[in-house]
Amino acid sequence: MAGTLTPERTPRRLCELSADARAAVLLDAAGAPAGCHGVAPARSRDLAQLARTTFEAVDRAHRDIPGGPPEQVEIQVDRGTVYASRTPTWTLAVVARRTALSSLMLMDLRAVLGELEGGTPIRRSTAAAAAAATGAEATEEAAARESPVPELGVEEL
């Protein structure tokens, strides 16, 4: 089906959603890299290994922390922030700029993983000005996708 998110495309999808995401890597349940974006192919294996190490260290740290098993982690260092999120099937880690908003980045991680697992596709909007510039033909189908607030543009699936 067109538009279905594949594991290979998932890291790129996350980086497209957020301007603060610099690179991302997706691991499968066995910890093997399933997709990578933002680093040279020669370095993608190293990034995957580091993402795997992150959750190993999180699980070790969790023994001292009350509450359920961690599902997401946020690590702020001098020159950036690393966010990672996991489900029973996938682990997605992203290297972001320090300016990234934690709540938005964690939400994007959850949304992208949800979409990968067959959940609701993420709806993105095009600015009204950009939509007008493309000169899209006015059809009933296009009208059905129009936002109830025209100033906000049309929604993309």
Site of interaction with another protein (CB under 8 A): 22-23, 38-40, 43, 46-47, 50-51, 53-54, 57-58, 60-82, 93, 95, 102, 106
State which residue, 71 or 146, has the beta carbon closest to another protein.
71
Q: Please choose, from the candidates 12, 2, 26, 14, the residue with its C-alpha nearest in 3D space to the C-alpha of residue 87.
A: 26
> In this structure, are residues 85 and 49 in contact, taking their beta carbons and an 8 Å threshold?
no
State which residue, 82 or 152, has the beta carbon closest to another protein.
82
Nearest-approach distance from CB 98 to another protein, in angstroms: 8
Nearest-approach distance from CB 61 to another protein, in angstroms: 3
> In this structure, are residues 54 and 93 in contact, taking their beta carbons and an 8 Å threshold?
yes
In sequence order, the 6+-apart residues with CB closer than 8 A to the CB of 63 are: none
Nearest-approach distance from CB 42 to another protein, in angstroms: 9
State which residue, 12 or 62, has the beta carbon closest to another protein.
62
State which residue, 18 or 154, has the beta carbon closest to another protein.
18
Q: Please choose, from the candidates 81, 69, 66, 90, the residue with its C-alpha nearest in 3D space to the C-alpha of residue 13.
A: 90
> In this structure, are residues 81 and 75 in contact, taking their beta carbons and an 8 Å threshold?
yes
Nearest-approach distance from CB 36 to another protein, in angstroms: 10
